Each structure stands twice: as structure tokens, then as C-alpha cells.
Amino acid sequence: MSTIPLDEPSERPFEEAIDFDYSLTRWRTLFNLLLTGLSGLATVVALIPLISVLYMLVSHGLARLTEVSVFTALPPTGKDVGGGFGNALQGTLVMVAVASLLSVPFGILVAVYLAEFGKDSTTASVVRFAAKILTGLPSIIAGVFAFAILVMHTGRSSFAGGVGLAVLMLPTIILTAEEALLQVPRKMREAAYGLGCTHTQVVLRVVLPTAIPNIVTGVMLGVARAAGETAPLLFTAAFSYFWLNKLMQPTASLAVFIYRYSGVPYERQVELAWAASLVLVTLVLTINVLAQLITRRAHAHR
């Protein structure tokens, strides 16, 4: 490291060594401005698809939604100009409910182990690793799994679809619930221990009730993700033109409905796909916004 000797004053005064000038005639200032503009442009470009998607959803989907019958009618067949996605909406709700029933209690209990009982154990790190792997799992693989474990033995059903969705929801729930449990202040736990509570009582009566808002947020994010998934349902719940009355039969869902009617040559049926998309996006976004509101309120209360 060569430094300026302290005893000799520098040949060049400080002001000349660095230039604080902000003049547009200078290359570095211009370059700065140019790059700022470019990155701003990139942001605008990135938002064009979003605006385009939302515009298409509203302009193509809203018209059909004004006919209330789309919510109650069965899917159109052949060249039908009417019809709706009533059974698809029903199927989505049922399968998301099945997936939640399977994955929410499971996920929360796993999170309890990770955050409370086995915090620093080897088991916990292995399980966390497994959950992270599940996060990056391609959604169609969840479908293949449900196909291999259920459909190959019992046939296509909404239950199999629910299992596929549950696999995708599980990591979100485990990881967000663990985070939520860890945020519970230590003092609260210690007070409960001081009264002679068992570890389980501390978890069930103190930690879980305190962490509930944040856990609900995680669950809702998982639900929002599951509601929009198509790939795991394609060959597990498949599709149906009829109402769902048993859990063990093929079932339509909004996502698969959109897939099926996206490429049909009939204008009216494509419009129906857009209408279903608008319903699905509204559903997903509402859940997302609610989840954020819950977190915000929980934080405001602390």
C-alpha cells in the first residue's frame, strides 16, 4: 500500500483530486443519467405485461360475469354459446378445502416441532431441508406423485387433486408457521414455565394462540397458491362437465377450466375462459390482500 507521506504536503490540493462537479457535459454524469433512465425503463417494461393481463381480464372477462348464470351453469359443450363454470368453482373450493384439511394441521404440527421441541436437533435441520426442497418442487411433480399414489389405484378424483395441492401448500405452511412461532417473545414462554406448565401446555396455550395471526397469513398464502395451480390437477382431478357429488370422482376446477377453454375456436367459450380467469385472479388476490392485512394488524397490536 503506497500512501502519501504525512510530512510532505500533497502536490495536488484536495479540490483538484476529486471533482464534485455535476455537469451534463461530463461523460460520467451523462452515463449516470443514462443508466438511471434505462433501469427506470426496465421497470416500466416489466409492468407492461401486468397491465396487459389485467386489461385483458377486465375487458374480455367482465362482460360475461354480468350474466349471473355463469356462476351456476355447467361448462358448454360443442358449439354452445351459453354455459358457465359453476361446477369448476365448486371443484376449486372443494379441492382447496381438502388440501387445507390435509396440510394445515400437518404443517403447523411440523412447525411446532421445528420451532419448539426440536429447535436445534438434527431432525429439525433434515426436516427444514426437506421443506425447502418441497418449496422448489415443480408443481406438476406434485401431480405425478398424487397420480402414482392414488390415481393408479383409485382412479381420478377430487381427493387425489386435493392431495396434489396439499403437497404444494405444505412447505409454505411449515416455513411460515415456524417463522411465526419463533417470533413469540421468550418472556411469555418463561412465565408459563415458571407456573409449572409442561412444554406442550406452553405451546398449546401460550405460543400457538399468540402466533395465530401470522400462521393464518402463511396458511392463506398457501391457499392462494393452491387455488391457482393447474398442473397438479390436470391428471388427478382431471375435468368434468357435471356437478361434484362424491369426493371420489373426476372434478372440474377453475384452473383446468381455463386451460380447456383457452384454445377453443369459439369466441363465446374463450370469453368464458377469460371470465373464469377474472374470478380466479380476484379470488387469489383477495386472499393475498387479506393475508397481508392480518399480518399488519397483528403487528400493530404488539
Partner 1 sequence: MSETSSSVVESPPRELPPMVYREPTLSERFFDRFFRGLTWGLAWMTVVLVVGMVVLISVDAWPTLRDSGGREFYSVVWDANRNEFGILTHIWGTLYSSLLALLLGGTLGVAVAIFIAEDFLPSKIRLFLKNLIELLAAIPSVIYGLWGIHVVIPALRAGLHYFPSLLADFSGPSMLSASLVLAIMILPTVTALSRDALESVPPRLREGAYGLGATRWETIRKIVLPTACTGILGAIILAFGRALGETMALAMLVGNSTARDNPLSFNPLLPGQTLAALLANNFPEASDPLQVGALMMAALVLLLITLVVNLFGALIIWRASAQFQGLRS
Identify which of residues 46 and 300 has a Cβ nearer to partner 1 in the complex: 46
b/e for 15-27, b at 16 or more Cβ within 10 A?
eeeeeeeeeeeee
Identify which of residues 138 and 185 has a Cβ nearer to partner 1 in the complex: 138
Written as nine digits, the cell of 278 is 377474472
User: To the nearest whole angstrom, how small is the minimum distance from the Cβ of residue 199 to partner 1?
Assistant: 6
User: To the nearest whole angstrom, how small is the minimum distance from the Cβ of residue 136 to partner 1?
Assistant: 4
**What values do phi and psi take at 33, rounded to 5?**
-65, -40
Identify which of residues 99 and 114 has a Cβ nearer to partner 1 in the complex: 114
In 3-state terms, what secondary structure has residue 298? helix
Identify which of residues 99 and 255 has a Cβ nearer to partner 1 in the complex: 255
User: To the nearest whole angstrom, how small is the minimum distance from the Cβ of residue 260 to partner 1?
Assistant: 10
Identify which of residues 4 and 7 has a Cβ nearer to partner 1 in the complex: 4
Identify which of residues 10 and 29 has a Cβ nearer to partner 1 in the complex: 29
Separation CA 188–CA 210 (nearest Å): 9
Separation CA 166–CA 104 (nearest Å): 9
Separation CA 35–CA 193 (nearest Å): 58
Q: What share of the chain is helix, strand, coil (3-state, %, to 5)?
A: 70, 0, 30
**What is the Cβ-side half-sphere exposure of residue 169, based on CA atoms within 13 angstroms?**
34
User: To the nearest whole angstrom, how small is the minimum distance from the Cβ of residue 100 to partner 1?
Assistant: 16
- Burial of residue 52, with CB atoms counted within 10 A of its CB: 0-12 exposed, 13-18 middle, 19 or more buried: exposed
User: To the nearest whole angstrom, how small is the minimum distance from the Cβ of residue 247 to partner 1?
Assistant: 20
